[in-house]
Amino acid sequence: QVQLVESGGGLVQPGGSLRLSCAASGGIFRFNSMDWYRQAPGKERELVATITRTGNTNYADSVKGRFTISRDNAKNTVYLQMNSLKPEDTAVYYCDAKGIRLYNKLDWGQGTQVIVSS
């Protein structure tokens, strides 16, 4: 019943933009904070952005000014708008809801892959 499904990744050139989406189901979205993580090849998963139930946001220093997290409670969806993309943004991106994946309640799954390359 509980699901988090990412979409919107792809291959873009440096300086380009992508908008990622995460659709939540199973009654876990409305009252939870939402998070975006990413994992680059050979590196550990890192927290990229968070948004609270009321819309307060936080970002990793590496993406401040370039990425924007938002949520649409009516659609049970969280977004990550990524602008001015750099090769170092290349990673698999995952969403989470109040640590349900971080603490192994829900499998991380495939995420959505972002490749920034010429």
Sort 117 into a burial class: Cβ within 10 Å, 0-12 / 13-18 / 19+.
Answer: exposed
Contact between 95 and 35 (Cβ < 8 Å) = yes
pLDDT in tens, the chain (118 residues): 789 999 999 999 999 999 999 999 987 777 689 999 999 999 999 999 999 988 999 999 999 999 999 999 889 999 999 999 999 999 999 999 988 899 988 999 999 999 999 9
Closest CA to 37 of 97, 115, 106, 116: 97
pLDDT for res 79 = 97
Q: How far apart are CA 90 and CA 86, in angstroms?
A: 8
Query: H or E element: which one contains 9?
Result: none
